[in-house]
Amino acid sequence: MNSGDLLVSCLTNCEVVDRGFIKSLNSEYEVTQVVGGTRQTTNYVYVYANGCFVNIKRLRGSRLVSRTKRRRNMTEEVYRVPRDVLDGKVILNLSFSTSGHFSAETYTTDGGVVKRCSCDLFKNDESALKTASIFCPVGDEWGIAKLYLDLVPKLSRKAIDIVRRSGAEIHTGSAERLGDVLRSPGFSILICMALTTLQGRVQCLLNNMSHVLELFVTAKVVETLDGVSLSGWFIWFTGNVPLTTVKSRITGREYTIFYQPSILPHTLSIMVPDARDLPKHLIPDIVIFEGRIDYVGWGKLMDLVNQGKTPNLLIEVKLGIMCMRWEEPQYVIEQMSEYIKLLRPRNIALVSLSSIDPGLRKRLEELGVAVFDNITSETTQNNLKNYIIKALSTQ
């Protein structure tokens, strides 16, 4: 079924409802959306027009009548749309809760009457992906989206498979967006396309890609060690709960793996805004200690170092896509320099999806950082495997 047929079917099973986000006012409809990311009580309204889903603020004939700031970064926007512009069209209301829960509903209007419709736009991951593919672009985000679709499903499957073979499952807990990315890439890209700005969509896609790549690299570490997971894999960003503890069949040793732990409180610069020389880079991607370590407390990974226990291996993971500040060469140098200063890891590496600029590579290697770029290539993965074995086999 093509997208046109799918959308026509959406208008054949509808019932009249009273929904607050669309109200009939004489010859117009009043449509309300609340924008502000995907981890707050927000809703984004899209209308199928001229071959793609367009946000209500960009719909021809729509005019803004009020914009009100709510708590945090939420903004309520109210639009008026002539009846003849909206009637008979497929309308999506994409909503989120403070926990990150996503829901999608389909509506239409007819002569001042609002109807909710049952259709197959969101019945599974494949249909969600098809729906996402007919969202109107707001810039050049589809280049990033194509890379996302080429990369994320493949690496997600590989990471999940390695973790399962080690005897565990990945538990994302409150990181609901990451759970979407790992298990439902079609829904995850739809969630990114729900955002109304180019910056929002691109940042959403890149953040998701980064986390999947980080977990893939972590899984490759465990695969290299021929590791048995001694616990489930629990993701708690900055919380300093170990991702997992594994026992290697190769070295015979146990290793505790932290994923995005906090070396010190990562809000330090906010709490002491006028202090100079405060460390700014406090959340490395992957930190591995030999032996079993329990929860060390939020913002207290540094305590382990102060007690004489230094990491055997620290790995930072980058996309190598210069769209985000944390991918810029000077940022990367400062980041790695602070990790070395604070944690004093015995081995430190940077893994990148893309090629690393020769100048950046030279500066990193001068710091003692091993660089592995083009990580999806078999050659790079073999080189990384040899490096991991050597790093984690040495006393």
Tell me the per-residue pLDDT of 156-185, one tens digit each, with 9 for 90 and over.
999 999 999 999 999 998 788 898 899 998
Task: Indicate the residue among 68, 94, 124 that finishes a domain.
Answer: 124
Please state, as a whole number, how many other Cβ atoms lie within 10 Å of the Cβ of residue 152: 22
Please state, as a whole number, how many other Cβ atoms lie within 10 Å of the Cβ of residue 51: 10
Tell whether 147 and 231 lie within a shared domain. Answer: yes
Specify the number of domains making up the chain. Answer: 2
CA 183 → CA 52, 124, 172, 180, distances in Å? Answer: 26, 11, 11, 5
Tell whether 187 and 100 lie within a shared domain. Answer: no
* pLDDT for the residue 101: 84
Tell whether 102 and 172 lie within a shared domain. Answer: no
Tell whether 120 and 153 lie within a shared domain. Answer: no
Which positions of the chain have pLDDT values less than 70?
A: 1-6, 19, 266-278, 322, 395
Tell whether 120 and 147 lie within a shared domain. Answer: no
Task: Indicate the residue among 69, 91, 124 that finishes a domain.
Answer: 124
Tell whether 359 and 273 lie within a shared domain. Answer: yes
* pLDDT for the residue 1: 45
Rounded to 5 degrees, φ, ψ at 107 are -135, 170
Residue 131 is assigned to a structural domain of this protein = no
Tell whether 175 and 207 lie within a shared domain. Answer: yes
* pLDDT for the residue 282: 87
Residue 135 is assigned to a structural domain of this protein = no
* pLDDT for the residue 7: 77
Q: State the helix-helix crossing angle for 176-183 and 141-165, rounded to 10 degrees.
A: 90
Residue 29 is assigned to a structural domain of this protein = yes
Task: Indicate the residue among 78, 99, 124 that finishes a domain.
Answer: 124
- pTM: predicted TM-score of the whole model, two decimal places: 0.90
Average pLDDT of the residues of the chain: 91
Tell whether 152 and 275 lie within a shared domain. Answer: yes
* pLDDT for the residue 8: 72
* pLDDT for the residue 355: 94
* pLDDT for the residue 5: 59
Q: Which two tokens stand for residue 20?
A: 């607050």
- Can you tell me the distance from the alpha carbon of 161 to that of 298, in angstroms, rounded to the nearest whole number? 30
Tell whether 54 and 168 lie within a shared domain. Answer: no
Tell whether 84 and 170 lie within a shared domain. Answer: no
Tell whether 190 and 325 lie within a shared domain. Answer: yes
Report the CATH number that the domain containing residue 68 is assigned in CATH: 2.60.40
Tell whether 188 and 257 lie within a shared domain. Answer: yes
Domain span holding position 104: 3-124
* pLDDT for the residue 39: 79
